Structure 1
Amino acid sequence: MAGATSPTTALEVTRGGGFGFVGAAFSTPEKLAEDLTFVRDSIPDLGNQPLPIGIGFIGWLLDAKEDVSKQFIDVVLENDVRAVWLAFGDDVYRWIEYVRSSPANARASHKPLIFVQVTSVEEALLAAKEWKADVIVAQGTEAGGHGGATTPSTFTLVSEILAALPGDGAPPVLAAGGMATGSQVAAYLTLGAAGAVLGTRFLLTTECPYTDAQKAALLAAKSGSTVRTMALDYARGTYGWPERLNGRGIRNKIVDEIEAGVPHEIVQEKYKKGTEANDADYMVVWCGQGVSLMKEIKPVKDVMAELHTDIVRQLQKTQGLLDD
């Protein structure tokens, strides 16, 4: 969720009982260091404990600039961040190894958990058995932002991965994609997931750095308003994504024109002007299909309280089925 999260967002999620992550893909090592200092300064009683948030990286962007990417990861390790999240690369294991072998890790008082995001059973087995990931994040097709172009639904993918992984010693599996309510999270917990990842739900928060225009587009969107496509990346000029991936966002004239064969450079100019003018027809709004269940903008702490209440209520209802 690069560009859609901030240190404040992540910290408020953690304070609310979750585990907040910051998407650092398009940041700089210097800016990331500033952000992590802000988080530590915001928790006066933290002491020598690790920072209670995680940092997410995009694999192919790490591959593109090796030296800078190592600086990124070293900053994370030197600041004792609790977890590192890796996704969307052709050589993710290379960066898992670097996290584990970097001299900065040897100096750190806390060894970060490694989350690996997967979009297929094959990827999950590789991450669990060979890479020894600490946590597997199973992302289905309903997810907003980038993901597998041919990935099945979150429910199907999570079910397949849980069936494929060995029962003893397997890392916890988190469900990701399309969720916006506590009831949905509860459904995945009863399915066997160890937890759930919500992204789009936190776009409609006061702490989210999305613009007012982007948030207005989210409020107006339905589940059918979104589309999986590369058009939104073409408009932004981000061409490095592995071929098996694309992104889900709100369909608008950007997508229509790319599909109609309008040259990318023309759409890119319209995107630039549209973003400056807050024109919904030519701005990029990443989001998942759960957007239709989001009705208002509220602080992260209120979202977390709402999710917790809904999860507990739904699980209690499920218990009632056994009582009957």
Structure 2
Amino acid sequence: MPHTSATDWVHWLLGLAVVWAVPTLGPATDGGTAPAGPATAGAVAPVAPAAPLDGPAIVAHRGASGGAPENTLAAADAAAELGAVWVETDVQRTADGELILLHDTTLGRTTDVEEVFPDRAPWNVSDFTAEEIARLDAGSWFGEEFAGEAVPTLADFLDRLAANGQRLLLEMKEPELYPGIEEEILDVLADEGWLREARPGDRLVVQSFDAASVRTVHELAPDVATGFIGNPAVADIAEHAAFADQINPRVSELTADYVAELQSVDGPHGEPVRVQTWTVNDGPTAERVTGLGVDGVITNHPELIREALEAR
């Protein structure tokens, strides 16, 4: 497909009347069964109506990373099998400009890069081409059954989520290392059909710890839902809500009063700021943050969280 700027794509694509099934900026729901069969090329399959869940949305952190190697297609599939409609993942850029999914800015922890390229320390993502990264094994570190699992490109991951009927919470990892990555991400999202939203955030949220990067996404594509990861001071919430639909704090720093303060302010699309907290990996903590009123729980173990919330 010919390259088109993110701004041009957004203006054209967001004019299409495509209505998705479950809005993320409305009441929080999760679960349900994904539609069968692969998505049509260049389009995102609608999500099946979610099964009711009395509590926050459940987001699979780096995929279902408690049971599969993080940020891989296997982790996305594992999340789908566990009924997790929302998947969080991390995006970075290779030396030759490909967008790939990896959490760490170095390849050592989750691939066999030190064996394949022993003389390339410190093995920064940005020092390797896409072809070189494609040679790496991103699964064996987690378990022998995942041997040969690849580091996916963003485009490949989007295709898999579309086929699974899943939604995406996309984190821009260390964007200051990759100048211009915001527009490049938007270009790939547009090319893959992920900006065809009738309302912001129905299918996609782009987030980062870097407020400037989140603001850039909002300025380039104002209709795209965005999230800021962190705990801004109460006095700074309104400033962040000018460009972030979500403010997503660490679970250890949450209080009921703070959640209420966040949700009392409208985000850039005129709806209350949503709060998704991370990383919650046990039932008691999930029950506690649900009691605080959060809109979403980001977890490595979506099955444990769902079981806890359904048992309440």
TM-score range, shorter chain: 0.3 to 0.5
TM-score (norm 1): 0.38
Greater Rg by CA: 1
Higher relative contact order (CA 8 A, sep 6+): 2
TM-score (norm 2): 0.39
Higher helix share: 1
